């Protein structure tokens, strides 16, 4: 069975390689396969959900664009941009420049960026936003149905089905993350947040590895998302932080006084630490997930790069690429779990620091 699945995957991807290289042949070298651009395009957010290319036809799901510009609201679907080729109502997806991939204001000719344009408040439902909606709904549905089965079966029966699958994870978060980092009597107030955080990251990491709709969006590899997550941790931390925590920052115990007065060296260091924590959380998750996606896309692109050089080469390299992609996918499954664990664990450690026991 495993062998069969492997062969199937092999043929699917080599087929893709074949058609892919054919596509490269057809325009007769008109456009070269740019692996870097493909990879970045796949990792970045987008205004439509690209599904497949067939020849020159792009198949994609148009997503709503919501803009507020100079006090006026704009709402339309992203197919009006024709995959970034056209401008609509004076807006356009920037093809290059510092705002590449984002919506910019253009002059009447529909190409030149407007130099006097003010800030565009862009609340579009992009690919990542849409993916977040889907995963949020799925996650809620999944966990609430599990909660139902718990409520239904009661405490005197062993969990079964989905609950049996999720309970080790729940216990893992509770015992190995929350209880190991936070004082015993304060665990309960952080536990729902830590569990939601863990499952949200883990679920989105896994969805990110599914190469087709509704997966494939790089949600946890988007710096906006990881930044938001770490800001949630930051806010929760300071919402629950007690006196000891602030005392530890502004009057660190166990440190010689000349480090605190007249030059407040320790308080400055501690205060920097407060803001470094969320930044580190943001960057770690973002970098790990993005890097994984890049490597997988790199191996897939290798087929097309060499396929562009010669069909035989593309065929020759595809088994190797497929093996590496499969290997990387397994590694990414591991990373998906580890990064969810690490983010949650560090959040728990920060919470533990925010609510130290009053006696010491």
Partner 1 sequence: MELVTPGIGLIFWMTLSFGLVLLILRKFAWKPILSTIRERELYIAGSIRNSKRIQRELAELDATKEKLLLQAKDKAAEVVQQAKKEGDEIIIKAQQQAREEASKIIDNAKNSINAERKAAEREIRQQIVDLTVDVARKLLREEFTDNKKNNDYVEKLLGDIQLN
134 in Cβ contact with 214 (< 8 Å): yes
In the bound state with partner 1, the residue whose beta carbon lies nearer, of 13 and 219, is 219
Considering only 11, 54, 133, 327, the residue that binds partner 1 (CB under 8 A) is 133
In the bound state with partner 1, the residue whose beta carbon lies nearer, of 173 and 305, is 173
Using DSSP bridges, classify how beta strands 64-69 and 121-122 pair: parallel, antiparallel or unpaired.
antiparallel
By CB under 8 A, residue 284 contacts partner 1: no
204 in Cβ contact with 135 (< 8 Å): yes
By CB under 8 A, residue 266 contacts partner 1: no
Alpha-carbon distances of 25 from 22, 29, 32, 33, rounded to whole Å:
5, 7, 10, 11
Q: One symbol per residue from 293 to 322: x for binding partner 1 (CB under 8 A), - otherwise; what is it?
A: ------------------------------
By CB under 8 A, residue 169 contacts partner 1: no
Q: Is 107 exposed, middle or buried (0-12, 13-18, 19+ CB in 10 A)?
A: middle
Span near partner 1 by CB under 8 A; candidates 56-64, 147-155, 296-304, 323-331 = 147-155
* CA neighbor of 214 nearest in space, from 44, 51, 10: 51
132 in Cβ contact with 200 (< 8 Å): no
Considering only 81, 91, 193, 234, the residue that binds partner 1 (CB under 8 A) is 193
User: DSSP letters along 209-228, please?
Assistant: HS-STTS---STTSHHHHHH
In the bound state with partner 1, the residue whose beta carbon lies nearer, of 8 and 235, is 235
Cα–Cα distance for residue pair 201/58, rounded to 1 Å: 30
By CB under 8 A, residue 174 contacts partner 1: yes
- Cα–Cα–Cα angle for 173, 354, 278, nearest 5°? 75
Span near partner 1 by CB under 8 A; candidates 16-24, 71-79, 186-194, 296-304 = 186-194
> How many Cβ atoms from other residues are within 10 Å of residue 232's Cβ?
16
Q: One symbol per residue from 65 to 104: x for binding partner 1 (CB under 8 A), - otherwise; what is it?
A: -x-------------------------------xxxxx--
By CB under 8 A, residue 189 contacts partner 1: no
Q: One symbol per residue from 212 to 241: x for binding partner 1 (CB under 8 A), - otherwise; what is it?
A: ----------xxxx-xxx-xx---------
> How many Cβ atoms from other residues are within 10 Å of residue 49's Cβ?
19
By CB under 8 A, residue 291 contacts partner 1: no
By CB under 8 A, residue 185 contacts partner 1: no
Cα–Cα distance for residue pair 281/138, rounded to 1 Å: 25
By CB under 8 A, residue 332 contacts partner 1: no
Q: And the tokens for 349? A: 């450690």
Considering only 150, 213, 240, 324, the residue that binds partner 1 (CB under 8 A) is 150
Span near partner 1 by CB under 8 A; candidates 70-78, 80-88, 142-150, 271-279 = 142-150
Q: What is the DSSP letter of 176?
A: I
Q: One symbol per residue from 3 to 42: x for binding partner 1 (CB under 8 A), - otherwise; what is it?
A: -------------------------------------x--
Alpha-carbon distances of 129 from 10, 192, 263, 330, rounded to whole Å:
32, 23, 46, 26
| Contacting residues toward partner 1, per CB under 8 A | 40, 43-45, 66, 98-102, 121-126, 128-129, 132-133, 136, 139-140, 143-144, 146-148, 150-151, 154-156, 167, 170-171, 174, 191-193, 195-196, 199-200, 222-225, 227-229, 231-232, 286, 290
């Amino acid at each position: 069975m495993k062998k069969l699945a492997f062969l199937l995957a092999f043929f699917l991807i080599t087929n893709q390689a074949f058609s892919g290289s054919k596509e490269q042949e057809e325009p007769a070298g008109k456009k070269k396969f740019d692996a870097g651009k493909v990879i970045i395009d796949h990792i970045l957010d987008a205004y439509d959900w690209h599904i497949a290319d067939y020849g020159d036809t792009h198949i994609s799901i148009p997503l709503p664009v919501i803009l507020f510009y100079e006090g006026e609201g704009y709402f339309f679907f992203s197919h009006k941009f024709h995959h970034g080729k056209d401008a609509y109502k004076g807006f356009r997806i920037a093809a290059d420049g510092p705002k590449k991939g984002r919506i910019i204001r253009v002059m009447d000719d529909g190409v030149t960026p407007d130099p006097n344009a003010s800030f565009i408040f862009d609340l579009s439902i992009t690919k990542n936003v849409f993916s977040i909606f889907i995963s949020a709904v799925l996650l809620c549905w999944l966990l609430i149905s599990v909660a139902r089965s718990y409520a239904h079966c009661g405490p005197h029966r062993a969990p079964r089905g989905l609950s049996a699958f999720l309970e080790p994870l729940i216990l893992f978060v509770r015992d190995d993350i929350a209880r190991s980092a936070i004082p015993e009597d304060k665990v309960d107030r952080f536990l729902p947040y830590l569990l939601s955080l863990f499952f949200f990251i883990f679920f989105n990491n896994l969805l990110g590895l599914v190469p087709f709709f509704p997966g494939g969006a790089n949600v946890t590899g988007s710096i906006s998302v990881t930044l938001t997550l770490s800001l949630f941790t930051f806010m929760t931390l300071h919402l629950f932080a007690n006196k000891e925590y602030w005392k530890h920052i502004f009057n660190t115990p166990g440190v010689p006084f000349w480090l605190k007065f007249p030059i407040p060296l320790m308080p400055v260091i501690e205060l920097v630490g407060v803001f470094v924590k969320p930044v580190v959380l943001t960057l770690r998750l973002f970098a790990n997930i993005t890097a994984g996606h890049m490597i997988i896309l790199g191996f897939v692109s290798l087929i097309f790069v060499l396929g562009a050089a010669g069909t035989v080469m593309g065929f020759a390299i595809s088994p190797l690429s497929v093996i590496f992609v499969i290997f990387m996918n397994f590694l990414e499954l591991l990373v998906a779990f580890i990064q969810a664990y690490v983010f949650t664990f560090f959040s728990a450690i920060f919470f533990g620091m925010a609510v130290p026991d009053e006696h010491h």
